[in-house]
Chain A
Amino acid sequence: MNGATAPALPRWRRGPAATAGLYLRFMRLAFLKMLAYRLRYYTGVVTYTIFVAGNYFLFTAVYASRPEGAEAARLGGLTLSQMIAYVIVSWVGRSFTFNNIDRTLSWQVSKGEIAVQLIKPLHVQTMMLSEALGEAAFRFLLFTLPILVVVIPLFGLAPPPHPALYGWTLLSFLLALVVNAQINFLVGCLAFHLKNVSGVVRAKMIMMEFLTGVLVPFTFFPDWVQVAVAWLPFQAVSYVPVMIYLGQRPGASLAGALLLQAAWALGLFVLGRWSWNRSVRHVTLQGG
């Protein structure tokens, strides 16, 4: 230790295999953590059933009140049974893609708890995405599937026009989950710049219901709104996968729709990484 030269700390980087192992571990732990709180999700099944029921009755009434005729059978390009499928698939899908990254991250940043993560050799964005994926695995098995089991016999779900679309819809929702996680991460990062971010988080949640198409299909909106939402990432969170299920894929083709989602997932990840690095470098953390 008493050498003539200054002691040097060796440079160090985690290898790809170890990196994969580490973030898989975060996934596994997030899954286990959710398992510990599984009771909380039984009430969630009831909540989602009520959401679906409300929309089911609303749209049934809307379709019934239309005058007789061939044109009247469709609203915004959808038949009633497609509309019901839209409602069910979008809400059930939401139960899978939902996560709390925005709330968790903004809380950690505003309370200064993020310091504890920053002193470790960790990529916080990847860690949070891994945790979201682990949670999603739990949600899929113990939340989304039970909701389907309750909702399908109650309201009836028309199958997609082609059986292969089951698989593509699932893949599309997986991409939707990643896009949603990245949007939430970016919202969470705002806490670096705003004193009180909880209002923004709440506003975002309400806006998302609208802009992702969970509440109403975009085909109901005026043309200029449809054009606007087509340029935003939010459609990739719900509208795109639901339309894939209905066989009414937006964009040129099925592959195009999936590529659009993948592009948003990647683009937002890069944006999140940039925003994170910038925030960490330039912004003061609160508290001791």
Chain B
Amino acid sequence: MTADPSAPPLIRVRDLCRDYGVSRRREGVRGGVVDLLRPRRETLRAVDRVSFDVAPGEMVGYIGANGAGKSTTIKMLTGILTPTSGTVDVGGLVPWRDRGHYTRHIGAVFGQRTQLWWDLAVVESFRLLQKIYEVPDADYRRQLGRLDELLGLGEFLHQPVRKLSLGQRMRCELAAALLHSPRLLFLDEPTIGLDVVAKESVRTFLRDIRESQGTTVLLTTHDLGDIQQLCRRVIIIDRGRVVYDGDLDGLRDRVGDRVELHVELRTPAASADLAADTAGLPVRWREAAGLQHVADFSRRDIRGAEVIKRVVNARPVLDLRVAEQSIEEIVRGIYRRGDAGDLP
């Protein structure tokens, strides 16, 4: 089952805003006393007129730097937080108003928090969740069997949660969020702190779930790998606003897909010398430290191999490293170019 973008949306977010009141501290002892008597309140807008639709079965990456407003949006979409203004409609329900009805249909994994009962065996937590969501026995057994097959839970199902490793726990969290076959799954940093192998198994699992159960997934992450492997569509949020909403390729095109090539030389040279080596190619060189230089170019214009070949042919090279842009850099890139205003 794959998402059909032309289908009517399951999630409809319109002009969503959320303000926070923060107190600004004055300086010094006198300031402290004045603060006590007359606190200086200030309103910060964490989420600013955010609008988007998500079709049933879609898997969307919701990304942005720390403090960009990701978590605040997710909290409003899961019904934990009431917005200052704006609307959210999920299948006819308003998350924060219809929480009793709505929470039956959603599952969530918050990377750093556990929804399992710390002192209980994993399977006890699962049975409790079965009761909470009123999953019929047959459905529960079928779903647990399927989750076990995909996540390999059998080995630690009877251990208390506090004895599990982070990777094992994350697998249990995912299973816990999906035991009641929710229509919507919210994932807040689901691969944070995991090693490469565990990350990979979580990603494979999420792909399987989307395909086999048609679950609609909204995912926040810092990890570009998660996005690349899971989401065709990304929504980028910066300073509370949506600055990009579209597919990942479109994002790369727009930002220019910058790549940095770090070169460590055997013998000293000026950046100008390296620029001469790669004359004719659209590459910018700068000196990093001592024998280290950095070439900055766009993957759209040239291939890394071309740059490497020129440099290696011209002078002795000790080491080479290619660095891709992180999500933060991509987001920053959008802002530097001043595109934010006219992005869809």
Contacting pair A122 B132 (CB below 8 A):
yes
Bound Cα distance from A1 to B102, whole angstroms = 19
B contact residues around A112 at 8 Å (CB): 113
Bound Cα distance from A8 to B110, whole angstroms = 26
B: which residues have CB within 8 A of A?
1, 4, 6-10, 12, 20, 56-57, 71, 75, 78-82, 90-93, 96, 98-106, 108, 110, 112-115, 117, 119-120, 124, 128, 131-134, 183, 186, 188-189, 214
A contact residues around B75 at 8 Å (CB): 115, 285
Contacting pair A9 B92 (CB below 8 A):
yes
What is the distance, in angstroms, from A126's C-beta to the closest C-beta of chain B? Answer: 12
Contacting pair A118 B80 (CB below 8 A):
yes
With contact pairs A1-B214, A14-B134, A115-B75 given, residues A7 and B8 touching in the complex (Cβ less than 8 Å)? yes
CB of A22 within 8 A of chain B? Answer: yes
Main secondary structure of the interface of B (DSSP, over half): loop
Contacting pair B128 A11 (CB below 8 A):
no
Q: Which residue of A lies closest to B6 (CB)?
A: A2
A contact residues around B1 at 8 Å (CB): 1
Contacting pair A9 B93 (CB below 8 A):
yes
Bound Cα distance from A8 to B100, whole angstroms = 16
Bound Cα distance from A32 to B115, whole angstroms = 19
CB of A162 within 8 A of chain B? Answer: no
12 contacts between A and B (CB under 8 A): A1-B57, A4-B8, A8-B92, A9-B90, A11-B93, A29-B117, A33-B117, A115-B113, A118-B99, A119-B186, A121-B103, A121-B133
**Complex interface residues of chain A between 4 and 36 (CB less than 8 A to chain B):** 4-14, 18, 21-22, 25-26, 29, 32-33, 36
CB of A40 within 8 A of chain B? Answer: no
B contact residues around A10 at 8 Å (CB): 101
With contact pairs A8-B91, A33-B119 given, residues A284 and B20 touching in the complex (Cβ less than 8 Å)? yes
Bound Cα distance from A288 to B186, whole angstroms = 13
Contacting pair B81 A7 (CB below 8 A):
no
CB of A163 within 8 A of chain B? Answer: no
Bound Cα distance from A4 to B134, whole angstroms = 30
Bound Cα distance from A35 to B108, whole angstroms = 30
Bound Cα distance from A122 to B134, whole angstroms = 12
What is the distance, in angstroms, from B328's C-beta to the closest C-beta of chain A? Answer: 16
Contacting pair B104 A12 (CB below 8 A):
yes
The 4 closest A-B pairs by CB, nearest first: A9-B91, A6-B8, A288-B71, A116-B115
What is the distance, in angstroms, from B44's C-beta to the closest C-beta of chain A? Answer: 11
Contacting pair B101 A12 (CB below 8 A):
yes
The interface centre, meaning the residue of B57, B80, B100, B117 with most chain A CB atoms within 10 A of its CB, is B80
* B101 partner, pick from A6, A11, A115, beta carbons under 8 A: A11
Q: Which residue of A lies closest to B91 (CB)?
A: A9
Bound Cα distance from A285 to B72, whole angstroms = 9
Contacting pair A25 B113 (CB below 8 A):
no
